[in-house]
Amino acid sequence: LSDDYLDSRAKLIRLDGATHFGAGRPAAGGTVYLTAADENGMMISFIQSNYMGFGSGVVVPGTGISLQNRGVGFSMDPKSANVVEGGKRP
């Protein structure tokens, strides 16, 4: 989240009383990537990429795992270059 966006949201907070305001709309989503390795060669690769907002808004019950919505760019139209199908490469 940009400093400008956070500043604009912070200005909505009133310390002298309760207020009602709508949910924020961050400009864009993003991806967090983490990789780590130890001296024994143990490695981990973690990608968290929810796309816009906080993903699909669906959390798997009992897990706290939020489902992503990166698939929004795919199409169900079989004539589209972005049709959902296996075997594709960038």
Residue 40 lies in a domain: yes
Coil, strand, or helix at residue 11? Answer: coil
Residue 80 lies in a domain: no
Full domain range(s) for residue 61: 3-16+24-73
Residue 87 lies in a domain: no
Q: Which residues of 8-30 are buried (b: 16+ CB within 10 A; e: fewer)?
A: eeeeeeeeeeeeeeeeeeeeebe
Residue 81 lies in a domain: no
Residue 88 lies in a domain: no
pLDDT(49) > 80: no
Residue 46 lies in a domain: yes
Domain count, the chain: 1
- pLDDT band for position 29 (cuts 50, 70, 90): low
- pLDDT band for position 16 (cuts 50, 70, 90): confident
Active-site residues, by number, are: 31
pLDDT(82) > 80: yes
